[in-house]
Amino acid sequence: MAEQLTPDLCVIGAGSGGLSVAAAAAQFGVDVVLIERDKMGGDCLNYGCVPSKSLIAAARRAHTMRASGPFGIKPLEPAVEFDRVHDHIHEVIAAIEPNDSVERFTGLGVNVIKGEARFRDKETVIADGREIKARRFVIATGSSPALPPIPGIERVPYFTNETIFDNKQRIEKLIVVGGGPIGMELAHAFRRLGTEVAVLEAFTPLAKEDPELAEVVLRQMESEGVEIISDARVERFEPFGDRVQVLFARGGQSYSIDGSHLLLATGRRPNIEKLNLDNAAVRHDRTGIKVDKGLRTSNRRVYAIGDVTGGLQFTHVANYHASVVIKNALFRLPAKVNEEILPRVTFTDPELAQVGLTEEEARKKYRKVHVYRWPYSDNDRAQAERATDGFLKVITTRRGRVIGASMVGEQAGELIQMWSLAMHKNMKIGALASIVSPYPTLAEINKRAAINFYTPSLTNPMIRRVIGLLRKLG
């Protein structure tokens, strides 16, 4: 007889979203079972956000050494030790790991089971020889790299984001297939670490971003030597001695490019293949599990969060989903996901950040909108840091309600958060104009853009007449 467990909540997947649900529920005194088949912390800790940002941090130091001339400091070509870069990445992972460990969650009162989870029926999950009958289930199994069905892929070695951070050797030339955020972040980082890099993108690099902002990023990457080839349809991979050759079509012509290493960054697929979702009457397709605005599936006992739902694939989105599920599953509150307030950042240099609607999306939805802009070059701190390439664009309705903000430049991922708050609180742009920002800080860019809301009043005849009247009154 299999051991039977009857917890209040069973969470499948110990990535950032699943851990957030399990920790919150346990601290409320809920009986929780957490099932994980692989590493605690999931993709974010082990293969995604943490190692990639650690690599980017190392690359930024190397770039700073080369770009110090304008500050009166003699530039140096850094001697990059890839084995030490590898160690740096894994030291950062190790420093964060205890927060996501089995020991920590066991200490919180969570019953952690290491094993593959699969549904036996609508209300039962089997894992590691145990039978779990929970009041509610939360599927948080995340996603994995999607390998493109390109001929020859089985004949050549390649990296994905799950393997590239184990590399300890210098990469001479890296061919990146895929020009989305993951591909572009890693391409930029490796170029700064001294690797030749070429990016092949079937359509437009950073296609989901405002093209005006994306152009700033692409221009900077190309100025540093990253070769970016758009509209490149990869047709075949071939071994080329001890190298890899990629054959692709562009504009009706055939081309080839070879490199020492290949990185595939061609999207993600939801981790659902072994869950036996049909047994649980949970609707799904190749894009992920189908959920309503409250993240409940077609089985009223089962919720799904994060990448596995096929939506925005970011750690902070999974954590946001976790908060919605806690409100729904534990407190029976009618919480719903509002995707319009979810920010995103591409951690190239300069960073590219977005919350809400882009200008194009806003014009399609509202037709008449106002756009307020402010360049980094008009910010004193940006001048001092010589980080003047970039700008902010804020989109509002005709009445001034903030419906989107796009930013490219130094620390854009930090600065966009003010606009995330404005959208979350349904604020008008005028409210942000009265904020006092310390001088000199990059945050003044946000305030200056907001002040532009009042620019038309400077030439308003009525206001000028009022000022004139008050002047006459002494």
φ, ψ dihedrals at 174, nearest 5°: -110, 125
Residue 349 contacts residue 338 (beta carbons within 8 Å): no
- Is 183 labelled a binding residue? yes
- Is 242 labelled a binding residue? no
φ, ψ dihedrals at 149, nearest 5°: -80, 65
Pairing, β 233-240 against β 288-289: unpaired
Determine the longest span between alpha carbons in the chain, in angstroms: 94
Pairing, β 111-114 against β 32-36: parallel
Sole residue written with tokens 């003699």: 74
- Is 185 labelled a binding residue? yes
Tokens found for residue 86 = 């590898």
Tokens found for residue 150 = 């390109």
Q: How far apart are CA 260 and CA 127, in angstroms?
A: 42
Sole residue written with tokens 């690099």: 205
Spell out the residues 6+ positions from residue 92 whose beta carbon is closer than 8 angstroms to its own: 50, 51, 54
- Is 225 labelled a binding residue? no
The closest of 203, 259, 194, 200 to 228, measured between CA atoms, is 200
- Is 142 labelled a binding residue? yes
Q: How far apart are CA 127 and CA 112, in angstroms?
A: 11
How many Å separate Cα 179 from the centre of its chain?
14
- Is 116 labelled a binding residue? no
- Is 201 labelled a binding residue? yes
SS3 329: helix
- Is 143 labelled a binding residue? yes
> Running DSSP on this structure, what letter comes out for residue 158?
-
End-to-end CA distance of the chain: 93
Residue type, 205: P
The answer to whether the peptide bond before residue 440 is cis (omega within 30 degrees of 0) is yes
The closest of 281, 296, 299 to 333, measured between CA atoms, is 296
Q: How far apart are CA 295 and CA 306, in angstroms?
A: 10
Give per-residue burial for 239-263: e unless 16+ CB within 10 Å, then b.
Answer: eeeebbbbbbeeeeeeeebbbbbbb
Q: How far apart are CA 135 and CA 103, in angstroms?
A: 25
- Is 184 labelled a binding residue? yes
SS3 345: strand
Q: How far apart are CA 178 and CA 172, in angstroms?
A: 19
Q: How far apart are CA 351 and CA 338, in angstroms?
A: 24
| Residues in the annotated binding site for FAD | 53, 141-143, 307
Binding region:
53, 141-143, 178-185, 201, 267, 307
Binding-site residue set for NAD(+): 178-185, 201, 267
